[in-house]
Amino acid sequence: MSNAEGSYHYAVMRRAIERIDAADGAPLTLDALAGEMKMSPAHFQRLFSQWVGVSPKRYQQYLSLGHAKALLRDRFTMLEAADELGLSGGGRLHDLFLRWEAMSPGEYARKGAGLTISYGTFDSPFGEVLAMGTERGLCGLAFTAETGLDAALADMMARWPDAGYVMAPAALEPAIRAAFDPSGETRLHLIGGPFQIKVWEALLNIPSGQVTTYSEIAQSIGHPKAVRAVGTAVGRNPISFLIPCHRALRKSGGLGGYHWGLPVKRAMLAWEAARSEAEAS
């Protein structure tokens, strides 16, 4: 699938998400949704099924305003239990293999000096993704559907201002292909401060199709009163989706924020919930 085609598919999903939100919980028929997307019902149904693996009707349920609260009620992940199972760097994490290496505090303090970071854009289930990586692994994933490519690129480069950057999508393509393949194996290079690394490691312990809360993450890393600092670290996660900051919710069940736009976060949660159900059936 080309980048243009993938971006088109995501744009359709985004419009459908916005339309469902505007309905305020009222169900929309396949014919109504397809008509508003300017597609035939059969084509719209095929696009949804291809993208997420379930029907538009079922998908609406995942995108409902109550879905986050239902996830917290039915699929809440206790991070201490995940830790006891040995879910950590170097092991199998949720639905794909991730091996990660963290930058030392001294390296982080140098703001990327001495690092060469390759970057490129690729298609993904959530529209165009900007990928960045070092010789140790992927260090950045940013989704551009809401922000635009230029803003996403400037945002990511500002995190490591003294690094050298080279546009080299071919160098990153195998890692990106594996990143969205449940059987793939992806190496990550975590570039952040010590507290951020702790928070991101906790995020890595949340299985696909499940969620946790900011307060639970704070508890799991030994800083129960640092909920606001945890939220900031979650928001600064540079490797979106693979370090699943979209699985962190407010204790109330609210989605909270998302650096690359709430429609992307909601699409990710729905995509994972639908695939988890499909795999279980």
Give the active site residues: 245
DSSP state, residue 103: P
Q: What angle do CA 210, 212, 218 make, to 5 degrees?
A: 155
Helices (H) and strands (E) in the chain, counts: 13, 9
Q: How far is CA 231 from the centre of its chain?
A: 15
DSSP state, residue 245: G
Residue 264 · residue 145 · CB < 8 Å = yes
Residue 269 · residue 154 · CB < 8 Å = no
Buried b (16+ CB within 10 A) or exposed e, 35-66: eebeeebeebbebbeebbebebebbbbbbbee
* Alpha carbons 179 and 177: distance in angstroms, whole number: 6
Pairing status of strand 96-102 against strand 185-190: parallel
